[in-house]
């Protein structure tokens, strides 16, 4: 057991706790935020190009230590080295490089002239200003990519960051922190504070300007409420119960393999994984046969063995939750497919299970499932599949499986989800350019892409008058003639016919001349 409120690196395969980290005290949080508040203006004042170069140094440091990071991720989460590398480290490297490349362009000030002739004398300059000090609260399932995506975007935008990683993966977070230190950032611009949910809650009460949170819906609501009390924004990536639609024209072997990987990668502990499959009844039987084959090929056990593809759940309580959802569906009459059991060296690992045709009110269809459990439901046709897919309180991502790309895109647009993939699942989260985030109870805000960078800045506009010695025509001095000429101006600019617009010309000119005469 870790100390109260603290963090612990625990091997999910053996149950061994190999490192403990004490929880940050309220005083430590206050000092970290105060140091960030002091350091941030200097960091924000540095050129965007310089900040981007610092991010590139961070990327190089992560790359140099990739083997150490992969081992640490496996030891703290139980996932195979292949997943630690391909699904956690490589997307992180891509994201850091992406934000470093786009920041100078996307954060560049914009200048424009208004379209309304009445204000043509104005010059508008729009800048992207950092929020200031932001908090990042991240989970354990992707302990490098998820904290890094928000942290790097916020840093390159000129913010200072306080990172509160999961209490289950503190060592991976510390390795990330060492890589960030190699970027040469000023002291105080980035700080890690360790601890459990109580530390995260306390961080939300500190003097922050924005909070980025990834985690459960329940915890996300608490973060949103804390931010609302302080009238600061939050970006929330919460739970998912992602739908996969398998159409009758799909390549069933491809669909079965892709859905099996998407659902059972990381032992099913992925927010943006296909968790509810809706398959057209005409192809349900062959699809289930191929799904069973794909599940049977998954090797479950001790992930220190390079041939093992799926390890244990990170905590025993996760097993209890999955077991309760599985037993609820089976108790209501659903059938099931089960993959191979774990070997003796990983007694805590769970086999992959697919629940076939659970009742609509089964917990597996109404709640988020965070483990190797998949629901498969036969539906009459594509319309029924879309209706069932959208009948969920969640909307993180979804997938459509079909040989008809045009039809796949059309169906994708009807799904209530932040992102939709056609003939793949989950991989969108690894695409640096693609915005990621949910709708409904899956949260709001976006990470990745230009939209993820924009989440880290507030828009600031300066409007300058290019004739500072000339009064404005709409200032005090209202009169019947002003009202008449202003209406004429409205007709000139917004009239619905050329006669109406031409009829307003004289009054509009008179209004402008009056402005010059009052100079």
Which amino acids are annotated catalytic? 237, 271
What is the 8-class DSSP label of residue 143? T
Residue 257, φ and ψ in degrees, nearest 5:
-65, -45
Place of tokens 């990327």: 59
The closest of 310, 275, 324 to 442, measured between CA atoms, is 275
399-438 core/surface letters (b: 16 or more CB in 10 A; e: else)? bbbbeeeeebeebbeebbbbbbbbbebbbbbbbbebbbbb
Place of tokens 């009390």: 229
DSSP 235-255: EEE----EEEEE-TTS-HHHH
- Size (the chain), residues: 519
Contact 240, 368 (CB under 8 A): yes
CA–CA gap between residue 178 and residue 25 (Å, rounded): 22
* Residues whose CB falls within 8 Å of the CB of residue 123, separated by 6 or more in sequence, listed in order: 111, 113, 463, 464, 465, 466
* Residues whose CB falls within 8 Å of the CB of residue 490, separated by 6 or more in sequence, listed in order: 504
Long-range contacts of 465-470 (CB under 8 A, 24+ apart): 465/121, 465/122, 465/123, 466/121, 466/122, 466/123, 467/121, 469/519, 470/121, 470/515, 470/516, 470/519
């Amino acid at each position: 057991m870790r100390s109260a409120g603290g963090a612990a690196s625990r091997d999910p395969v053996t149950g061994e706790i190999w490192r403990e980290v004490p929880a940050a005290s309220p005083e430590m949080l206050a000092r970290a935020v105060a140091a960030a508040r002091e350091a941030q203006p200097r960091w924000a004042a540095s050129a965007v190009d310089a900040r981007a170069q610092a991010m590139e140094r961070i990327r190089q440091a992560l790359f140099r230590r990739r083997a150490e990071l992969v081992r640490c991720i496996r030891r703290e989460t139980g996932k195979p080295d292949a997943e630690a590398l391909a699904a956690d480290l490589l997307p992180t490297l891509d994201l850091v490089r992406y934000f470093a490349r786009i920041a100078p362009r996307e954060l560049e000030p914009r200048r424009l002239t208004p379209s309304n002739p009445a204000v043509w004398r104005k010059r508008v300059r729009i800048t992207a200003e950092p929020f200031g000090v932001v908090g990042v609260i991240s989970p354990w399932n992707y302990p490098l990519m998820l904290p890094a995506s928000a942290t790097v975007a916020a840093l390159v935008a000129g913010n200072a960051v306080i990172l509160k990683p999961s209490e289950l993966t503190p060592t991976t977070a510390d390795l990330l922190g060492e890589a960030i230190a190699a970027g040469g950032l000023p002291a105080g611009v980035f700080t890690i504070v360790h601890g459990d949910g109580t530390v995260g809650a306390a961080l939300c009460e500190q003097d922050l300007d924005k909070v980025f949170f990834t985690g459960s819906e329940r915890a996300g609501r608490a973060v949103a409420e804390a931010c609302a009390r302080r009238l600061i924004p939050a970006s929330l990536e919460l739970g998912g119960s992602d739908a996969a639609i398998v159409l009758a024209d799909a390549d069933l072997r491809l669909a079965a393999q892709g859905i099996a990987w998407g659902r059972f990668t990381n032992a099913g502990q992925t927010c943006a994984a296909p968790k509810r499959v809706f398959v057209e009844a005409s192809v349900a039987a062959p699809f289930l046969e191929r799904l069973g084959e794909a599940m049977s090929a998954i090797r479950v056990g001790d992930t220190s063995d390079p041939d093992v593809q799926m390890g244990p759940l990170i905590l025993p309580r996760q097993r209890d939750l999955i077991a309760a959802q599985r037993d609820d569906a089976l108790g209501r009459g659903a059938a099931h497919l089960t993959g191979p059991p774990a070997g003796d060296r990983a007694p805590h690992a769970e086999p992959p299970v697919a629940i076939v045709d659970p009742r609509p009110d089964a917990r597996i269809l109404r709640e988020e499932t965070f483990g190797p459990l998949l629901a498969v439901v036969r539906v009459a046709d594509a319309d029924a599949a879309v209706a069932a897919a959208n009948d969920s309180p969640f909307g993180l991502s979804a997938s459509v499986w079909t040989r008809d790309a045009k039809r796949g895109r059309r169906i994708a647009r009807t799904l209530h989800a932040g992102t939709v993939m056609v003939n793949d699942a989950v991989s969108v989260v690894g695409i640096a350019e693609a915005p990621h985030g949910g709708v409904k109870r899956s949260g709001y805000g976006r990470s990745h892409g230009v939209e993820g960078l924009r989440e880290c800045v507030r828009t600031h506009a300066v409007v300058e008058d290019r004739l500072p010695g000339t009064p404005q025509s709409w200032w005090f001095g209202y009169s019947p003639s002003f009202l008449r000429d202003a209406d004429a101006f409205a007709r000139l600019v917004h009239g619905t016919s050329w006669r109406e617009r031409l009829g307003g010309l004289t009054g509009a000119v008179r209004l402008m001349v009056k402005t010059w005469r009052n100079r």
